[in-house]
Chains A and B, each alone.
Chain A
């Protein structure tokens, strides 16, 4: 098995405008997703939702600024860390990951053992 990150990129405005109903629906969708990963033969190793980019602080060198590192229409809003057999399996799982206001990116985790 290999570890992959599923990075969830979405337009934050979707949640801001959608109100509590959207939050509830998305929450339930993520609950279903957790179950589906196991059914597909994968495993969720971890994951978190992030506060919106309005709460972000960026640091580049010595300079600390308010806001996310890069201003984009769709921002990183959360991630899962999963175990999958190979990239096809990871993509199959990532397709199920809720991201109604955007999409997801799959990235393999680097094995840093032996890198000192």
Chain B
């Protein structure tokens, strides 16, 4: 008989865990001035919510309820036991030492940006930034994060603990960076979110191509950042990039789980609603001028997404965007992707010259998409023996099952005797 309210409470708590964790933890950390203690208090608040919401119903504003509960716990703890107060309290600066005047009547300041900028501080190693973001901003358990990154739970626990210790001991401030340093710091945050997405998007060693939970966490973080920093074009660009890339998810593999290239995908399976939203965000990001790497990548993805077919894509526009991208982000991976556009505009021979240049450069040694792209160009030039060798090289580097089976299929194709003209 009490099943229904209990179920409803459980659902509401799970929903609040997904949507409100960052808000509740960020606001609680301001009171505890210690990330570990804040986490404990927030965990306790979620446990208390299960019982309270089943008895009294789900509150109108679950985030505020949870924050108030977590902060009460924190204050009780501090009153009861002074030693709970961390020896090196979290450095809350500047001008935010006091709660805003309205705090007493339930207005809780939104500290999520402080939290994510602290988690993604450049003085922390990238892998620590990623782990802390999943732990503190998304509320994932250490076990879940370890699983997502294919390391043991003790290894991940040690990584998280070490990073938290550094925040406290090295006095990494709990704050939003100043305007002068903001572009670099935003880039670090966006890099972490993008890394989460790509890790989920091509599950590096898994058998499926997409680890949906990581992808959804990344898209959720990008939405949150866009909500909190609507005027930052790179933030808008990242959200657009993730939405448009993810809109193709259903078309990326066939029913047997085999990888399908962009040119082989059934475009009717693409999520046109998400593409439209992404396209509007791209336009918004570009309107602000001097687009950065995320806005330009999103623009490229949008041109692909809006094309009726692979051959009918506006390749000249794509090449133009890659030219701009490589100026703001001179990375060999960008040069490799640009070579694909060169092949479409100027032919495979011209693109092959650029690939060989990249091989000499050496920075992409061991990167499976370099031989895979080269193989495809050689195949189109009819140089099948060399194409086969390049596919084999790519296969030797690929770990994802869907990618491996695609490459093996190509090798088999190259090995068949050439058919007529």
Query: Interface majority SS on A: helix, strand, loop or mixed?
Result: mixed
Interface size class of A (residues with CB under 8 A): 10 to 19
Q: Are B93 and A87 in contact (CB under 8 A)?
A: no
Q: Which segment of B61-69, B153-161, B171-179 sits at the interface?
A: B171-179
Beta-carbon nearest neighbor of B87 in chain A: A111
Residue A100 at the chain B interface, CB threshold 8 Å: no
Which chain B residues numbered 164 to 200 have a C-beta less than 8 Å away from chain A?
169-173, 177, 181
Residue B91 at the chain A interface, CB threshold 8 Å: yes
Q: Are B87 and A87 in contact (CB under 8 A)?
A: no
In Å, the complex CA distance between A107 and B123 comes to: 11
Q: Are B87 and A88 in contact (CB under 8 A)?
A: no
Binary CB contact string for chain A from 81 to 116 against chain B (1 if under 8 A, 0 otherwise): 000011110110000000000000011101100000
Complex contacts, B121 vs chain A, CB 8 Å: 87
Q: Are A108 and B177 in contact (CB under 8 A)?
A: no
Q: Are A2 and B171 in contact (CB under 8 A)?
A: yes
Interface size class of B (residues with CB under 8 A): 10 to 19
Q: Are B173 and A88 in contact (CB under 8 A)?
A: yes
Beta-carbon nearest neighbor of A88 in chain B: B173
Complex contacts, A90 vs chain B, CB 8 Å: 171
Complex contacts, A107 vs chain B, CB 8 Å: 170
- Given known A-B contacts A91-B123, A111-B87, A85 and B93 have beta carbons under 8 A apart: yes
In Å, the complex CA distance between A88 and B94 comes to: 13
Q: Are B181 and A88 in contact (CB under 8 A)?
A: yes
User: Which of B87, B91, B181 is A86 in contact with, Cβ under 8 Å?
Assistant: B91
Closest approach, in angstroms, between the C-beta of A12 and any C-beta of chain B? 27
With a 10 A CB-CB cut-off, give which of A86, A88, A106, A111 has the most chain B CB atoms: A88
In Å, the complex CA distance between A86 and B88 comes to: 12
Which chain A residues numbered 53 to 91 have a C-beta less than 8 Å away from chain B?
85-88, 90-91
Closest approach, in angstroms, between the C-beta of B66 and any C-beta of chain A? 29
Complex contacts, A111 vs chain B, CB 8 Å: 87-88
In Å, the complex CA distance between A95 and B341 comes to: 41
Q: Are A86 and B123 in contact (CB under 8 A)?
A: no
Complex contacts, A110 vs chain B, CB 8 Å: 169
Q: Are B181 and A108 in contact (CB under 8 A)?
A: no
Complex contacts, A91 vs chain B, CB 8 Å: 123
Complex contacts, B93 vs chain A, CB 8 Å: 85-86
In Å, the complex CA distance between A90 and B91 comes to: 14
In Å, the complex CA distance between A110 and B168 comes to: 11
In Å, the complex CA distance between A8 and B91 comes to: 26
With a 10 A CB-CB cut-off, give which of B121, B170, B171, B173 has the most chain A CB atoms: B171
Q: Are B181 and A87 in contact (CB under 8 A)?
A: no
In Å, the complex CA distance between A90 and B123 comes to: 12
Binary CB contact string for chain B from 217 to 249 against chain A (1 if under 8 A, 0 otherwise): 000000000000000000000000000000000
Q: Are A88 and B177 in contact (CB under 8 A)?
A: yes
Q: Are A108 and B169 in contact (CB under 8 A)?
A: yes
In Å, the complex CA distance between A103 and B172 comes to: 21
Complex contacts, B88 vs chain A, CB 8 Å: 111
Complex contacts, B172 vs chain A, CB 8 Å: 86-88
In Å, the complex CA distance between A91 and B123 comes to: 9
In Å, the complex CA distance between A85 and B93 comes to: 9
Closest approach, in angstroms, between the C-beta of B92 and any C-beta of chain A? 10
Complex contacts, B123 vs chain A, CB 8 Å: 87, 91
Q: Are A86 and B173 in contact (CB under 8 A)?
A: yes
Beta-carbon nearest neighbor of B181 in chain A: A88
In Å, the complex CA distance between A87 and B90 comes to: 12
Beta-carbon nearest neighbor of A2 in chain B: B171
Which chain B residues numbered 75 to 96 have a C-beta less than 8 Å away from chain A?
87-88, 91, 93
Q: Are A108 and B87 in contact (CB under 8 A)?
A: no
Closest approach, in angstroms, between the C-beta of B129 and any C-beta of chain A? 14
In Å, the complex CA distance between A106 and B169 comes to: 12
- Given known A-B contacts A85-B93, A86-B91, A87-B123, A108 and B173 have beta carbons under 8 A apart: no
Task: Enumerate chain A interface residues (CB-CB to B < 8 A).
Answer: 2, 85-88, 90-91, 106-108, 110-111
Q: List 22 A-B contacts (CB under 8 A).
A: A85-B93, A86-B172, A86-B173, A87-B121, A87-B123, A87-B170, A87-B171, A87-B172, A87-B173, A88-B172, A88-B173, A88-B177, A88-B181, A90-B171, A91-B123, A106-B170, A107-B170, A108-B170, A108-B171, A110-B169, A111-B87, A111-B88
8 closest A-B pairs by beta carbon, nearest first, are: A86-B173, A2-B171, A108-B170, A86-B171, A87-B172, A87-B170, A87-B171, A86-B91
Additional A-B contact list (18), CB under 8 Å, known A85-B173, A86-B173 = A2-B171, A85-B93, A86-B91, A86-B93, A86-B171, A86-B172, A87-B121, A87-B170, A87-B171, A87-B172, A87-B173, A88-B172, A88-B177, A88-B181, A90-B171, A91-B123, A106-B170, A107-B170
